[in-house]
Amino acid sequence: QVQLVESGGGSVQAGGSLRLSCAASGYTYSGNCMGWFRQAPGKEREGVAAIYTGGARTYYADSLKGRFTISRDNAKNAVYLQMNSLEPEDTATYYCAAVGGYCYPGVLTSTAAFRYWGQGTQVTVSS
């Protein structure tokens, strides 16, 4: 059974930082595209960042590039999202997801491309 478990969410003031973690189990972690999405109340789920566990390629939403960094630890079957200079607009539930295949340009534009999803972790940024 595939499991993606997020952690690290919480409440922070604007300008602060948080690091989200995603622990993966139950499937072949290596050679997989894993990503982070977020969904604010009343808004569609949007792609934040993705990383290929079999290499160094990363993908980011253009609006978040420079503030957010995705990384991985293959020894721990884990993916991380470091979020800096947080803004109230970053308030959302953040989800970890896995494609079950390779990353490709534009992968973050399609939630349907991601086969497996975690339950999400809440991030709240206050002004």
Confidence (pLDDT) at 122: 98
Q: For the chain of 127 residues, list the mean pLDDT of each consecutive stretch of 10.
A: 93 98 83 94 96 89 91 93 97 95 90 94 97
Backbone angles phi, psi at 53, to 5 degrees: -70, -15
Q: How far apart are CA 93 and CA 101, in angstroms?
A: 24
Assess contact for 91 and 37: CB atoms under 8 A: no
Give the per-residue pLDDT at 28.
67
Q: Residue 31: what pLDDT?
A: 78
* pLDDT for the residue numbered 117: 96
**Residues whose CB falls within 8 Å of the CB of residue 33, separated by 6 or more in sequence, listed in order:** 50, 51, 52, 53, 98, 99, 101, 102, 103, 104, 107
A 10 A CB-CB count for 65 gives 12
